[in-house]
Structure 1
Amino acid sequence: MHQIKRKLPGFWFTLPSLTLTVVLGVYPILWAMRFMFFDYQGFGAERFVGFANFDRLFSDREFGTSVANTFVYAGGKLALTLPLSLLLAVLLNRAFRGRNLLRAIYFLPTIISASVMSIVFFILFNSYNGVINQFLLKLGVIDDSIAWLGPDKAMLTAILIAVWGAVGNYMLLFIAGLQGIPADVYESASLDGANGAQKFWFITIPMLGPVLQMVMMLAIINSLKGYESIMVLTEGGPIGKTEVMFLYVYKLFFPISTSGSSDVQQIGYGSAVGFATAVIVGVVTLVYFAASKRLNRLY
């Protein structure tokens, strides 16, 4: 009884957050999982269809395309964001005038709304009267406007914008990790004749290992889940070149008629697609966890 009384204050402190988690997290998931087995369009009666939604899922080419696009988007974002974040962290971890200002500038995109950021970049990258095309034309670098949001370059543009928005967040995490490395380790290496590259590869990277694992996990999950900027920039177009998984799920629940997709809500099928995307993200995360356990042996 005494132990229960001791634990009660902690329970009351966690109750509000636990309630919000159940109401805003667990309940919507269970609600959506129920409709996976129904044909329901948001209005009217719901009709039980069993596994018909999953049968449709396996033959849905648009979903397959969205999965492939998601891995291209996530892979490109990770390949650019992580090295750039680490490089900036190493540079801005040194003592020099204006260091904190530069850190704030690089971190600023992280706190800007994805929708606002995407609207600004849409104005910059617009194929016809975009600021970037006009600037390059005036300089004589190009003769014709570049279709930055066209079929050939839309995905690359979306990746570059995503990198711009994410690099500052991971940079600060890397800086926190770098500041936890004792300075005398580098001093000892200098006395042994180690140069800058040797210090980086044999001291910084191994001792930054736990932070690097955490950053990689966050980056992988966020890259697979990201869709907001793509929705504002291209709505998944042109011709599905930037359609990613979570944007496809969003369209099934909240149709975007201007993109040429169906303007009918498909909550039943959308729930099945949402469940499939969650499974894909979960599998990728588990694979990463399994690989990271092997990396732990290096630290």
Structure 2
Amino acid sequence: MGLKKKLKAYGGPYMMILPTVIMLALFAIYPLAWAFKYMFYDYDGFTQAKYIGWDNFVRLFTRDTQYWQSVWNTLVFTAGKLVITLPLSLILAFILNNKLFGKNALRAIIFMPTIISTAVISLVFYLMFNSYNGIINNMLKSAGLIDQPIEWLGIKYSMLTAILVAIWGAVGNYMVLFLAGLQGIPNDLYESASIDGANKIQQFWHITIPLLGPVLQMIVMLAIVNTLKSYESIMVLTAGGPGGKTEVMYLYIYKLFFPVSEGDAVVQQYGYGAAVGFVSALIVGVLTSLYLYISRKSSEVH
């Protein structure tokens, strides 16, 4: 086939995907290549980059205790969020998949937080959980449940508050995914089970959960990856404080690239940030692969 015939046959499809390829190269492949190069350099974005070999990784694994604290905080945040979000989303999806008055309105209300900016949601909750003039403390004081304001964003409750905000923002998204999976289960199975005397709870455990297995596996994987990488709500709520109690991995990386002012100086650490980002991506990949391996083995056993 000649060049003209090939262009005529395949030119259209290639031209259609060309913008996507260009954007992928500019905003995904090039930044990854840039980060991979500079994680071996001491570079602050202004002065000449200095090659330092593996020094960034030596610093990370031997001296940077703050980063490893952020890894632990990320695991706590992920576990706390998913343990509540996924079962709650599944239960809501199961309820709203049945014939129920106003179910479409309820679906829209529960899904609404998903389409609102994370920064806006977090700012609203920041004002609500404010220790001294927040609406939560005012309501509790009015009801006589507390005498002194609770420091929701203080050392004791800051992680719990961050988890609650994350749950509120994520339930609707996973509910919709579960709804899509539930609607793929034939209604005949539920009707047959009802005729045999099975109630809704029995139907849920013996029909819904087994048949939802593949979809559930995908949703849990997406939830793990998204939660491990999330940091926006925590950045608005606590900025990682107090005392690093809510600092998560990707917020720590963000601060290396876009640091807060320290007096009159701003310390940018692009080289070290690239190294930390690489290790963080490996951690996310390992945890996700571990989950997929365990879930696949579990599926084979059953």
Scaled by the length of structure 1, what TM-score is found?
0.95
2:240 maps to 1:233: no
2:296 maps to 1:293: yes
Task: Choose from 98, 102, 109 the match for 1:98.
Answer: 102
Aligned counterpart, 2:32: 29
Question: 1:128 deviation in Å?
Answer: 1.4
Over the matched positions of the two proteins, sequence identity in percent amounts to: 58
Question: 1:197 deviation in Å?
Answer: 2.2
Question: 1:96 deviation in Å?
Answer: 2.1
Q: Taking structure 1 as reference, are residues 195 and 95 closer, same or farther at Cα in structure 2, changes over 3 Å only?
A: closer
CA distance in 1, matches of 2:124, 2:213: 36
Q: Taking structure 1 as reference, are residues 114 and 192 closer, same or farther at Cα in structure 2, changes over 3 Å only?
A: same
Aligned counterpart, 1:218: 222
Alignment of 1:1-299 (within 5 A): 1=1, 6-59=9-62, 60-257=64-261, 263-297=266-300
Scaled by the length of structure 2, what TM-score is found?
0.94
Q: Once superposed, what is the RMSD of the aligned Cα atoms?
A: 1.7
CA distance in 2, matches of 1:172, 1:222: 16
Question: 1:71 deviation in Å?
Answer: 0.2
Report the more deviating stretch, 89-98 or 233-242: 89-98
Secondary structure class of the residue paired with 2:82: helix
**What do the CA deviations read for 1:199-231 (whole angstroms, capped 9, x no partner)?**
111110011112111110110001100100100
CA distance in 2, matches of 1:189, 1:91: 17
CA distance in 2, matches of 1:263, 1:134: 38
Unpaired segments of 5 or more residues in structure 2? none
Question: 1:90 deviation in Å?
Answer: 0.8
Question: 1:295 deviation in Å?
Answer: 4.0
Question: 1:263 deviation in Å?
Answer: 3.0
Question: 1:139 deviation in Å?
Answer: 1.6
CA distance in 1, matches of 2:296, 2:154: 41
Contact (CA 8 Å) 1:206, 1:298: kept in 2 or not? Answer: no
